[in-house]
């Protein structure tokens, strides 16, 4: 089974990748002994995905890693049109720290008086081999930001993102429903074409 090293220890992301790429062995960073924090200070989603991919490839090469693997790094975020694309690349730390509830609340507060609540989730995946050659793909899904939290499934902004295609928030959707239309699912479909 071919191995993908996913440049993440986020259990939700690892689970989604494993569900959508069952033909690959998906290894999170902890499985290769990588515990450093990667500073994502890029200006775009692709910048951040490449920063992560390069850091992991550099780590593997420093360990003289010989297995046939590819590194996949993703950067994802929520882009809200009325907020000029925010939170964008700052989605994970929009309210300061990695606090999901605070991030959601900040978005809801900022949209309180806005008519336009349209938004999209985007995922950019960088696929890199150990020689540093890379390709990238992206996926998007569109919806509106609800005025309140709806549902408890998913993570991060899922309970306030009303999917046009599902007719409910990602927080109200099953994993199968979300995976059928999500930005990450669409990026992974594109990823399969370049693997």
Give the H/E segment covering residue 61: helix 45-62
Bond preceding residue 87 cis, omega within 30 of 0: yes
Out of 37, 64, 74, 75, which one is annotated catalytic?
75
Kindly list the strands in the beta sheet with 161-163, ordered across the sheet, starting from the edge strand earlier in the chain.
Answer: 25-27, 3-6, 69-80, 118-128, 134-145, 161-163, 168-169
* Nearest C-alpha neighbor of 182 from the set 194, 169, 193: 169
Catalytic: 116?
no
Residues with active-site annotation: 75
């Amino acid at each position: 089974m071919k191995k993908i090293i996913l440049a993440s220890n986020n259990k939700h992301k690892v689970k989604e990748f494993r569900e959508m790429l069952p033909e690959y062995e998906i290894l999170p960073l902890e499985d290769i002994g990588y515990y450093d924090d990667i500073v994502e200070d890029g200006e775009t989603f692709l910048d951040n995905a490449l920063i992560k991919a390069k850091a992991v490839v550099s780590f593997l090469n420093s360990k003289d890693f010989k297995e046939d693997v590819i590194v996949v790094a993703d950067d994802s975020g929520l882009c809200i049109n009325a907020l000029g694309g925010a939170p964008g690349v700052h989605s994970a730390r929009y309210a300061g720290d990695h606090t999901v509830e605070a991030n959601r609340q900040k978005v809801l507060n900022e949209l309180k008086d806005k008519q336009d609540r349209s938004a999209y989730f985007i995922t950019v995946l960088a696929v890199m081999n150990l020689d540093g050659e890379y390709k990238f793909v992206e996926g998007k899904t569109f919806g509106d930001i609800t005025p309140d939290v709806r549902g408890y499934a998913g993570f991060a902004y899922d309970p306030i993102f009303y999917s046009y295609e599902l007719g409910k928030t990602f927080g109200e959707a099953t994993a199968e429903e979300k995976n059928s239309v999500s930005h990450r699912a669409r990026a992974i479909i594109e990823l399969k074409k370049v693997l």
